[in-house]
């Protein structure tokens, strides 16, 4: 596998900081501590499978912890599915803990404090699966995190283990999958969750379109300053087709581009009211318009006046600001 991070590439004294920074980039912020080893050593390889990030981690004994402060700073809102292939690891979350042997499977929730400890020389595959992709079943999984799933617990575990290992080696090994194959492979993980964590039917992410639409709208609100923001960018960020993005926004009564335009112009109007000294060009750029003239035309169409005439206007009576 082609490594993404390899502590052997830096001096021993710098390895823990190098690993902490790399893990924060590829996962999220965590505190790293060496455990018992004379020198810290770890290696990470990985790839993407639609909305699912796949990582292979190998290393000497070390411990990582995720604190409430780190969660507040950055939370991808994912379920981490671990498959241990070599060595021993222990994981903890809430009031649960378990020790995994090769072939065992367990999960953690990125939204709550947790610890992970690799013992001896270990190798583990980690599937980072967004909760929105799992759907409502994610809530049930979070109540059983840090619980070992082995052949004695679930009869289907011996079948799931080689499939997940093969999938991880394909993706993390750099062989790559086409876009359609990657999305199909990601969908195959959902029935594995169902078989491991209960017999109830696990809805596909698209069976909860209102949740996905909310995430898309939140993403758009966070990227309104980007002039390139549009249905293609939203689709890529959420691993769905552009056509599906149009479909979800249409169900809310407004097209994607119109929705983005309205939010930008609402924000621009609010800034003009609150900061009358800011130039029109600055406001336009801040809300995703490269050309002040096109901004002025769009503003007039929506608000019935030129941007300069909106300075100092009070907020429209009785119109609450949208919250996403």
In sequence order, what are the residues at sequence separation of 6 or more whose Cβ sits closer than 8 angstroms to the Cβ of residue 154?
A: 195, 196
Rounded Cα–Cα distance for residues 241 and 221 (Å): 20
- What domains appear along the chain, each with residue ranges and CATH number? 3-205 (2.60.120.10), 209-310 (1.10.10.60)
Strands 78-93 and 31-34 turn out to be unpaired
- What is the Cα gyration radius of the chain? 24
pLDDT at 107: 94
Please count the CA atoms within 13 angstroms of the CA of 184 that sit on its side-chain side: 5
Lowest mean pLDDT among 40-54, 140-154, 269-283, 310-324: 310-324
DSSP reduced 3-state for 220: helix
pLDDT in tens, 107-121: 999 999 999 998 878
pTM: 0.62
pLDDT in tens, 282-319: 888 888 887 888 888 888 887 778 777 776 554 444 44
- Using the structure block, give the residue that is written with the tokens 């001896």: 120
Rounded Cα–Cα distance for residues 50 and 27 (Å): 16
Asked if pLDDT for residue 174 goes beyond 70, the answer is no
């Amino acid at each position: 596998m082609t490594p993404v991070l390899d502590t052997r590439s830096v001096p021993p004294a710098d390895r823990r900081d190098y690993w902490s920074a790399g893990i924060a980039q590829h996962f999220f912020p965590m505190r790293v501590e060496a455990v018992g080893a004379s020198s810290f050593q770890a290696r990470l390889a990985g790839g993407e499978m639609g909305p699912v990030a796949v990582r292979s981690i190998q290393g000497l004994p070390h411990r990582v912890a995720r604190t409430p402060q780190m969660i507040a700073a950055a939370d991808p809102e994912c379920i981490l599915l671990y498959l241990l292939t070599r060595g021993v690891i222990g994981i903890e979350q809430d009031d649960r803990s378990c020790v995994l042997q090769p072939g065992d499977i367990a999960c953690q929730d990125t939204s709550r404090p947790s610890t992970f400890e690799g013992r001896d020389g270990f190798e583990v595959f980690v599937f980072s699966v967004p909760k929105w992709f799992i759907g409502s079943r994610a809530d049930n999984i979070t109540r059983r995190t840090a619980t070992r799933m082995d052949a004695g617990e679930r009869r289907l575990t011996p079948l799931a283990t080689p499939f997940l290992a093969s999938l991880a080696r394909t993706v993390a090994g750099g062989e790559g999958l086409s876009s359609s194959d990657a999305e199909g492979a990601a969908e195959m993980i959902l029935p594995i969750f169902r078989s491991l964590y209960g017999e109830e039917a696990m809805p596909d992410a698209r069976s909860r379109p209102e949740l996905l639409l909310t995430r898309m709208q939140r993403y758009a609100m966070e990227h309104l300053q980007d002039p390139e923001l549009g249905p293609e960018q939203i689709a890529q960020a959420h691993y769905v087709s552009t056509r599906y993005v149009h479909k979800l926004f249409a169900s809310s009564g407004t097209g994607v581009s119109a929705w983005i335009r309205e939010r930008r112009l609402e924000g621009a109007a609010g800034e003009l009211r609150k900061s009358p000294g800011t130039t029109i060009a600055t406001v336009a750029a801040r809300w995703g318009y490269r050309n002040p003239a096109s901004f002025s035309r769009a503003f007039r169409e929506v608000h019935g006046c030129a941007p300069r005439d909106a300075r100092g206007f009070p907020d429209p009576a009785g119109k609450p600001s949208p919250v996403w």
